Amino acid sequence: MGLTEPISLAEALASFDALWSPRIVTTVNDYDVRVAKVEGEHLWHVHENTDEFFLVVEGELHIGLREAAGERTVVLPRGSVFTVPRGIEHKPYAPARAAILVIEPTGTLTVGDRHEEVPDHVDATTGHALS
């Protein structure tokens, strides 16, 4: 990206309103650092070849996981981090408006490699540039 100035996450988040539609704030090697506003449910999906890192910037995020031992939900309050391992089906959910930071390889689709039907409120994207 060639950015040489600090980026305010608050300003980045204030620059858009769309839910489940991440903006790329910077790149690190071959990874995008994306911020998104979230509320309600995303969809069950899997990233076959990459882990997915979550940091909750504002609010609270729940992530449903379908693991070999069964289904469970992790709850991430503000300031928490969690990594969904590659190959694990997962479904993010925010009970109220929240903001998250996600790190994943550049070009990774928000709906993964396998997923349920994409609902209208979810943006199936590899991330949008900050305006």
Domains of the chain: 9-105 (2.60.120.10)
Please report, rounded to a whole number, the percentage of residues in the chain having pLDDT higher than 70: 98
Do residues 50 and 113 touch, judged by C-beta distance below 8 A? no
> Rounded CA gap, 111 and 41, in Å?
12
Is the pLDDT reported for residue 2 higher than 70?
A: no
Q: Distances in Å between the alpha carbon of 11 and those of 53, 116, 130?
A: 21, 32, 10
pLDDT above 70 (res 3): no
Q: Could you tell me if 44 and 91 are in contact, meaning their C-beta atoms sit under 8 angstroms apart?
A: yes
Sign, CA torsion 85/77/93/16: negative
Residue 73 has pLDDT above 50, yes or no: yes
What type of residue is 69? Answer: A
- Of the given ranges (31-35, 81-85, 120-124), which has the lowest mean pLDDT? 120-124
The token pair that represents 82 in the structure block: 């969690």
Q: In sequence order, what are the residues at sequence separation of 6 or more whose Cβ sits closer than 8 angstroms to the Cβ of residue 15?
A: 23, 130, 131
